[in-house]
Amino acid sequence: MTAPVVAAGTASLAVLDAAYRATQARTAIAVANILFNRWGEVEPDNLATTGLVWMRDAIATVVAGQDRARSTADAYFAQVRRLQAPDASPFTPPPRKPPNLEQIRKSLEFTAFSTTARELNRVTAVRAGEADRDVPNDDQESADRSAEGRKAQLMEDAITRAASAAVRHVTTAGHDRIYDSIDADPVATGYARVTKPGCCYFCAMLASPALVFKDDSFDESDARFQGPGTVKVHDTCGCGLRPAFSRADPAPERNEALEELWISMKDQKKPGESDVQAWRRIYGESELAQPFME
């Protein structure tokens, strides 16, 4: 049994949105922390062997996080449905899709190891060349410390990238689960992308259609719907998806403001600017791009 996102009797759309996003964020952060903690066992001078052990555990950790994210998404969807469509027939969520292990593996391998291995080899080669020169011991020791410091920084950068990718995989699992339920539920009409104040221009652009309805035919020339993926998510993305059950369902106030800004943007474009370029500039100059508003 999946625990509710909020206690019965306290639900409102705003409360549900905030509780859902906070729960998904905690799940993603927990996954990232596990990856960070186990990264200490990866040795920069033995990356191939020690990295394999970390990779195996990391994939399992991401998959477990995705499963928790899907459970939270199911609870959130059910509560929003009861609130917005209380008289609707019962709905059973669709079967869960199996995790894409190869996608997770490739993502973690690329972010954690591909560039890192090359850069570590370069540091080692440079240090070996320096060691062959006839220089005082103090200089050699200084060079050793510099090389070790560079390796440590490369390893820190690697786990930061990998943890961010893991967060994206976990977050995407929750988004996709809600999207699949919307698609399978005959009562659901669409969704709103719920963003936080000060979110990036990309997420703000995707939230600028205040509500997205599943039976509409989207114009493929619309910059907001171009590119791969139905529910687009970037690393460290903190957005949520709120299901809608009627065209009369309220959109988040922020989404309505973003939609107005998108419409007005058409008249503010500079010569040669694409829609995305103009949006990035105009949104960045607006109050909506600020982390907090009065």
pLDDT tens readout for residues 138-185: 555 666 677 888 899 999 999 999 999 999 999 999 999 999 999 999
Cα of 253 vs its chain's centroid, Å = 22
pLDDT band at 50 (very low <50, low <70, confident <90, very high): very high
Mean pLDDT of the 280-292 span: 87
The reported pLDDT for the residue numbered 219 is 45
pLDDT of residue 239: 80
Sheet of 240-244: strand order equals 212-213, 190-194, 240-244
Q: Within a 13 Å sphere around the CA of 281, how many CA atoms are in the beta-carbon half?
A: 11
Lowest mean pLDDT among 61-75, 99-113, 138-152, 192-206: 138-152
Q: Work out the mean pLDDT of the chain and round it to a whole number.
A: 85
pLDDT greater than 50 at residue 294: no
- In this prediction, residue 293 carries a pLDDT of 43
| pLDDT over 90 at 221, yes or no | no
Ranges of H-type helices in the chain: 13-39, 47-84, 101-109, 115-131, 137-184, 201-207, 253-265, 275-284
Residue 223 has pLDDT above 90, yes or no: no
How far is Cα 284 from Cα 235, in angstroms, rounded to an integer?
A: 20
Give the up-direction half-sphere exposure of residue 283: CA atoms within 13 A in the CB hemisphere: 28
